[in-house]
Amino acid sequence: MTAASQTTNQAAPKTATVALRGPDAGTARTALLFAVGLAVAGAAPFALYPVFVMKVLCFALFACAFNLLIGFAGLLSFGHAAFFGGAAYVTAHSVKVWGLPPEAGLLLGVLAGAFLGLIFGVIAIRRQGIYFAMITLALSQMVFFMALQMKFTGGEDGIQGVPRGVLFGIFDLTQPLTMYYAVLAIFVVGFALIWRTVHSPFGQVLKAIRENEPRAISLGYRTDRYKLVAFVLSASLAGLAGGTKALVFQLASLTDVQWQMSGEVVLMTLLGGMGTLFGPVVGAGLVVTLESYLAATSLPVPVVIGAIFVVCVLLFRRGIVGEILARLPGAR
């Protein structure tokens, strides 16, 4: 926890130069990378197990949402599990018990994430640094204990057997491939939204706040409002990821709201490269792959992931993508 926040503080100024590149060359490269990524993702279910790739996509979206906050606004939230897991519960419950179609369930999940984000944000953005992180952690623990106690979440059994349903009345999500492309579409929409946000004037203000908040204030920006909007946006996207995951796995459980999940998303973002657009996707892919493929070996999964994290912090603090970008000619 402290290790994570320390690296945040140290890594932020270094990645800044990468993120503040001009829109010309950077945009072309991003578009190219995005097209390649999309082609790979489109072909992935024929080579890899679709459920596994869907899981990667859900976590990638979650990590991207988190990265929007830490990488571009400089806010380290330690409570993102509450948005992710809270939305998973809301989507699962509304689809299973109320019998809503999946798109309505997802929408409710996003709204739940946004609502929680608004509450968390209003309270937490009044403080900075470690206090901000602690407040978000405390609030997310409250959500965890509520999830543990409330009847509709099923306690430690979770909500099980969530039907996937028929998206927009046309797409039958019980077919693995249909579900896969629906998840891919959701991811692309979420990712595009983040890309647009980062490259908008709003995104530039966020970066300014990250770099020097008093100066942004002196320029006349109401930084608290910008931070709050960024927080709510990030929470909504985390909610979208959580709701999608509930549909993919047809369950919502305490794992998704536990503080370890907040830690996991920090880990994914830092490993991949904080403040880069593709970093969180790579980080999420790496962590999820390790979790599922080490599962069948005799290596203890948490130890391996922990060791990789230590190596990352010691040797390449910018994360995988951050380090590649920094070493590419013309990147600076």
Partner 1 sequence: MRSLLLAGTALLTLASGAAQAQVSNDVVRIGVLNDRSGIYADLAGEGSAIAARMAAEEFGGKVAGAPIEIVVADHQNKADIAASKAREWVDTGNVDVIADVPNSAAALAVQGITKEKKRIFLMSGPGATALTGAQCSPYGFHWTYDNYAMAAGTGRALFEQGKKSWYFVTADYAFGQSLEEETTKMVNKLGGKVVGTVRHPLGSSDFSSFLLQAQASKADVIGFANAGGDATNAVKQAAEFGITQSGQSLAGLLLFITDVHALGLSAAQGLMFTEGFYWNLDDQTRDWSKKFEAKAGKKPTMVQAGVYSAVKHYLKAVEAAKTDDSDKVAAKMRELPVEDMFAKKGKVAANGRMFHDMYLVRVKKPGESKGPWDYYDVVKTIPAETAFLDPALSGCPLVK
Q: Which of 35, 58, 48, 60 is nearest to 182 (CA)?
A: 58
Pick one of 157, 172, 177, 307: the residue that binds partner 1 (CB under 8 A): 157
Shortest CB 149 distance to partner 1, Å: 6
- Residue 301 in tokens: 């999964």
Near partner 1 by CB under 8 A, which window of 7-15, 114-122, 152-160, 191-199? 152-160
Nearest residue (CB) to partner 1, 212 versus 260: 260
Give phi and psi for 84, each to the nearest 5.
-65, -55
Q: Determine how many CB atoms are found less than 10 A away from the CB of residue 18.
A: 22
Q: Which of the stretches 36-44, 148-156, 222-230, 318-326 binds partner 1 when contact is defined by CB under 8 A? A: 148-156
CB-based burial of residue 163 (10 Å sphere; 0-12 exposed, 13-18 middle, 19+ buried)?
middle
Which listed residue (26, 86, 158, 322) binds partner 1 by CB under 8 A? 158
Strand partners, 159: 252
Least distance in angstroms from the C-beta of 147 to partner 1: 10
Under DSSP, is residue 252 helix (H, G, I), strand (E, B) or coil?
strand
310 near partner 1, rule: CB under 8 A: no
Alpha-carbon gap, residue 175 to 6, rounded angstroms: 45
Nearer to partner 1, 236 or 253 (CB): 253
User: Are 41 and 57 contacting, i.e. CB atoms less than 8 angstroms apart?
Assistant: yes
Site for partner 1 in 61-100 (CB under 8 A): none
Q: How far apart are CA 143 and CA 145, in angstroms?
A: 6
Interacting residue with partner 1 among 34, 52, 171, 259 (CB under 8 A) = 52
Closest CB 163 distance from partner 1, rounded Å: 11
The continuous run of DSSP H or E covering 172 comes out as strand 171-172
Which tokens hold the place of 32?
Answer: 């190219």
Q: Is 51 in the site for partner 1 (CB under 8 A)?
A: yes
Taking CB under 8 A as the rule, does residue 291 contact partner 1?
A: yes
The contact set with partner 1 (CB under 8 A) reads: 47-49, 51-52, 55, 145, 148-149, 154-158, 160-161, 245, 249-251, 253-256, 291-296, 298, 300-303
